[in-house]
């Protein structure tokens, strides 16, 4: 599928944006490139499924939006449970005292 291969070309651009220019074969950058590729393709796949469901009349745009919002809220709650002391708000991430322990040992 040439469209997906073309979309995946963005992986190196995003890896460079995140880590700076690095050669292929550098483990950290290769991992970021792989992750960016998976994320880009997953987003295209999810969008395609949503469009098909709406176009075929299986769900309405409002039902799809409500389900998407519900899933986003559930994922936020799961992330908050995984990372105690960190909470997403409309203004950004909110950290409380527990976040210090959650982030202990992270790279500077």
pLDDT per position as a tens digit, 18-55: 999 898 899 999 999 999 999 999 999 999 999 999 99
pTM of the model: 0.78
Domain membership of residue 100 (yes or no) is no
Domain membership of residue 32 (yes or no) is yes
Domain membership of residue 35 (yes or no) is yes
User: What pLDDT shows up at residue 73?
Assistant: 96
The domain containing residue 51 runs over which residues?
2-59
Domain membership of residue 75 (yes or no) is no
Domain membership of residue 97 (yes or no) is no
Domain membership of residue 14 (yes or no) is yes
pLDDT per position as a tens digit, 49-105: 999 999 999 999 999 999 999 999 999 999 999 999 999 999 999 999 999 999 999
User: What pLDDT shows up at residue 107?
Assistant: 81
Instruction: Give the count of domains, the chain.
Output: 1
Domain membership of residue 73 (yes or no) is no
Domain membership of residue 44 (yes or no) is yes
Closest CA to 12 of 3, 25, 97: 25
């Amino acid at each position: 599928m040439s469209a997906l291969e073309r979309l995946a070309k963005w992986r190196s651009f995003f890896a460079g944006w995140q880590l700076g220019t690095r050669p292929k074969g550098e483990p950290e950058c290769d991992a970021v490139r792989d992750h960016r590729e998976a994320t880009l393709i997953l987003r295209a796949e999810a969008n395609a499924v949503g469009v098909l469901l709406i176009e075929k009349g299986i769900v309405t745009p409002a039902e799809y939006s409500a389900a998407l919002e519900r899933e986003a809220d559930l994922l936020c709650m799961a992330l908050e449970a995984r990372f105690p002391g960190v909470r997403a708000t409309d203004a950004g991430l909110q950290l409380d005292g527990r976040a210090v322990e959650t982030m202990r040992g992270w790279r500077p």
